[in-house]
Structure 1
Amino acid sequence: MTDAGYEPSTLLVIGVDGGQTKTVTALATAEGDILASAVTGPCNHIHEPGGLERQYRTLRAGYEQVFANAGLPMRRLASVHLGLSGSGDRPTVERVYDTERLNLTSDPIIALSGAIPEMEGVIVIAGTGSAAFGRNAAGDEVITGGQGYYAGDEGGGSFIAQAAFRAIYQAADGRAPQTVMTERFLRHYGVDNLRALRNRIYGDLTRDQLAKAATLVGQAAAEGDGVAVSILRHAGHELGRLVVATLERLHWGDAPAPISPIGGVFRSGALVLEPMMETTHERFPQAYLQEARFEPVIGALLLALRALGRPIDEALLARLEATRHRIMYS
């Protein structure tokens, strides 16, 4: 699992992407060669009873497993960087790792580091919810959105699903155009009428299960359903407003502004991206789309390497690219 040229004296670093459903730990050399990864459980909700101990066990398991997967004995690390969803408890995290340097941040920071290794630009995250995170050349950082499905999440999966459910029931009332989404939603949720669907919406379906309806909206829009297209364009414009607000709060000016989209909503492609950039260009015409270069756990590795003073140059990025196949997600 390790390179033939690996030497025991090589400095090692760890990057951690701690999420709401799983935690990914990656081990790499200071030269940028990824050696192995490990997947463990979630490490958020530390304020619940037993939450701190669960976070410790999850992170410790990833720490031990990543060395085992690399076929190496555990030893002191040169640097560790963690990006955790929600929050992390530093004293708990310090118990996990034997390391010279430890940095604990939030998940948007490692997502930006992975998507835009230069760490100057904006990432737009649109999964179940939505948020934007940006950083300028001066190192100022801003998070916009991310207020949850009651107070925000405009343009995210929950927002799209809610708009679709409303459109279906308005069409049934004769208040809005008919849409192929009606039949698709009934079939997807295993019911044969809208009353039964409503019972499921307010009954046994979780928020994440409801948000998955955004995929059905994308499929209907791709086949030309006008109502679905309108919903996705509205979502795109809302995501563009997140971008504009983030750039304005960063006092971006006239410099080129890379925008990197992340999350399942963007699987709908131009149906969301075009309106997002239309709204963005009204205020920042120099903004441009940049595909995320790496996943967040590699962003955490890059930040661990930065802490060592390692230049983030193309040679390093190429070595990460060549060994990224060693990152597992299940």
Structure 2
Amino acid sequence: MTYYLGIDGGGSKTLAVVTDGAGHVLGRGVSGCGNHQLGAELADGSIRAAIQAAMEQANVNHEDIRFTAFGLAGADREADFHILRPMIAAMGFEHHHIVCDTVIGLRAGTKQPDGVVIICGSGTNCYGVNALGEEMQCGGFGYSFGDFGGGADLAVEAFRAVIRAWDGREKSTALTGPMLHMLGFETVEEMFHAYLDDYKRAPHTLAKLLFEVADSDEAARKILQRQGTELGISASAVIRRLNMGNDKFDLVMVGSVLTRGDSRFIAPYIEEQVKAVAPNCTLRVLQMEPVAGALLLAMEKSGQRVEAAVYDNLNADLAVKERNAEWALD
């Protein structure tokens, strides 16, 4: 039997999955951070642990795997691949391929060879490939290098909104009560001094609160609107640079903020920016876990033709979990 291995290594979670050639999931393994930019040794250990768990569950060995595809956060520049190529080669898979996690997100979300993907998980990223095979990445390097948002930044924005309402710079916000409850404080003043004195940073889980109160809270809606606009600007930049304005393609939305948050508060602002430059573009929320894209890529790299049944089988086992059910910001 033919087996494939796909890995999705993110900033907070690494997922490895083994399937047969029909796309039936036979084993999966989950571990921690798989982004080498947050620590090469940490990422190496996490990727290996996830792979080992998946292979043990599937009862397969290295020589059984026909092809392995690694979709890794932080695989952005040649400097990154200088680290990743020997790291991955040392894992012992003869036939393998390494791409950025943006690539597997796009591959999991559309059946076309061209398209654009925006990721909003712990951070943000955008990638596109046109009908000629030309590629471009925009962002993925943090606020100082032009990005805005993702769970980490959104948590800080929510925290700031509560502080600014407390000290009178903004009107009151419905974020205050849920945030105090989540962080275990009685008052904003107590929270303010605890975080200031101990040099704490707002935990990324605070991002979830923005969606919980957005229906009734202007401050939360404004933060989410800005996130949507910024993601739309990134996608628009990729579309223009790749001359895709007149093409018909999918814009795939990936990452916990987009797949497990309420899209009403972000997607319209993405669409507003994108439709202005690519009116034939269709927005799609990712329906399968990004690791499905790694598996599809592994199959294609090995020479296998991916039939419709493979998509159906992968979707049956790797569908994105119910919205808001899980908030690991991968």
Identity fraction in percent: 29
Aligned to 2:100: 106
What is the aligned counterpart of 1:40 among 31, 40, 45? Answer: 31
Given that 2:19 and 2:25 are in contact with CA atoms closer than 8 Å, whether structure 1 keeps it comes out as: yes
Aligned to 1:125: 119
Between 272-281 and 85-94, report the one with greater CA deviation: 85-94
1:235 aligned onto 2:235: no
Q: Would the alpha carbon gap of residues 20 and 239 (structure 1) be closer, same or farther in structure 2, given more than 3 Å must change?
A: closer
Aligned to 1:179: 173
CA offsets per residue over residues 124-143 of structure 1, 9 Å max, x none? Answer: 11123212122211122222
Q: Would the alpha carbon gap of residues 281 and 155 (structure 1) be closer, same or farther in structure 2, given more than 3 Å must change?
A: farther
Between 155-164 and 213-222, report the one with greater CA deviation: 155-164
Please identify runs of 4+ aligned residues in structure 1 that moved more than 6 A: none
Aligned to 1:160: 154
CA offsets per residue over residues 92-119 of structure 1, 9 Å max, x none? Answer: 32232343x2112222111211122434
Between 105-114 and 18-27, report the one with greater CA deviation: 18-27
CA offsets per residue over residues 283-329 of structure 1, 9 Å max, x none? Answer: 2222221131421211111111111222233233223334548x9x9
Q: Would the alpha carbon gap of residues 39 and 169 (structure 1) be closer, same or farther in structure 2, given more than 3 Å must change?
A: closer
Question: Where do 1:67-86 residues align within 5 Å?
Answer: 67-72=55-60, 75-86=63-74
Aligned to 1:219: 212
Counterpart Cα distance in 2 of 1:167 and 1:219: 15
- Aligned pair count reads 313
Q: Would the alpha carbon gap of residues 47 and 192 (structure 1) be closer, same or farther in structure 2, given more than 3 Å must change?
A: closer
Aligned to 1:3: none
Counterpart Cα distance in 2 of 1:144 and 1:293: 23
Counterpart Cα distance in 2 of 1:172 and 1:98: 55
Question: Where do 1:133-282 residues align within 5 Å?
Answer: 133-204=127-198, 207=201, 209-222=202-215, 224-266=216-258, 267-282=261-276
Aligned to 1:94: 89
Aligned to 2:7: 16
Counterpart Cα distance in 2 of 1:147 and 1:162: 17
Q: Would the alpha carbon gap of residues 22 and 235 (structure 1) be closer, same or farther in structure 2, given more than 3 Å must change?
A: closer
Alignment TM-score, normalising by the size of structure 2: 0.82
Counterpart Cα distance in 2 of 1:166 and 1:39: 33
- Deviation of 1:220 (Å): 1.5
- Deviation of 1:252 (Å): 0.6
Secondary structure in structure 2 of the residue aligned to 1:253: coil
CA offsets per residue over residues 5-38 of structure 1, 9 Å max, x none? Answer: xxxxx22221111233332222122333332222
Given that 1:25 and 1:38 are in contact with CA atoms closer than 8 Å, whether structure 2 keeps it comes out as: yes
Secondary structure in structure 2 of the residue aligned to 1:143: strand
Equivalent residue letter for 2:179? F
Given that 1:124 and 1:262 are in contact with CA atoms closer than 8 Å, whether structure 2 keeps it comes out as: yes
Equivalent residue letter for 1:233? Q
Counterpart Cα distance in 2 of 1:14 and 1:167: 43
Given that 1:155 and 1:236 are in contact with CA atoms closer than 8 Å, whether structure 2 keeps it comes out as: no
Q: Would the alpha carbon gap of residues 173 and 29 (structure 1) be closer, same or farther in structure 2, given more than 3 Å must change?
A: closer
Equivalent residue letter for 2:218? G
Counterpart Cα distance in 2 of 1:317 and 1:295: 12
Given that 1:164 and 1:228 are in contact with CA atoms closer than 8 Å, whether structure 2 keeps it comes out as: yes
Given that 1:59 and 1:96 are in contact with CA atoms closer than 8 Å, whether structure 2 keeps it comes out as: no
5+ long unaligned stretches in structure 2? 75-79
Question: Where do 1:310-329 residues align within 5 Å?
Answer: 310-324=304-318
Aligned to 2:21: 30
Counterpart Cα distance in 1 of 2:153 and 2:11: 20
Q: CA-atom RMSD, angstroms?
A: 2.9
Counterpart Cα distance in 2 of 1:195 and 1:106: 42
Between 32-41 and 213-222, report the one with greater CA deviation: 32-41
CA offsets per residue over residues 122-166 of structure 1, 9 Å max, x none? Answer: 221112321212221112222212222444441423333333333
Structure exhibiting the larger radius of gyration computed from Cα positions: 1
Counterpart Cα distance in 1 of 2:192 and 2:65: 53
Secondary structure in structure 1 of the residue aligned to 2:16: strand
Aligned to 1:4: none
Secondary structure in structure 1 of the residue aligned to 2:285: coil
Counterpart Cα distance in 2 of 1:272 and 1:131: 15
Between 305-314 and 82-91, report the one with greater CA deviation: 82-91
Counterpart Cα distance in 2 of 1:128 and 1:91: 26
What is the aligned counterpart of 1:308 among 302, 310, 320? Answer: 302
Q: Would the alpha carbon gap of residues 77 and 215 (structure 1) be closer, same or farther in structure 2, given more than 3 Å must change?
A: closer
- Deviation of 1:241 (Å): 1.0
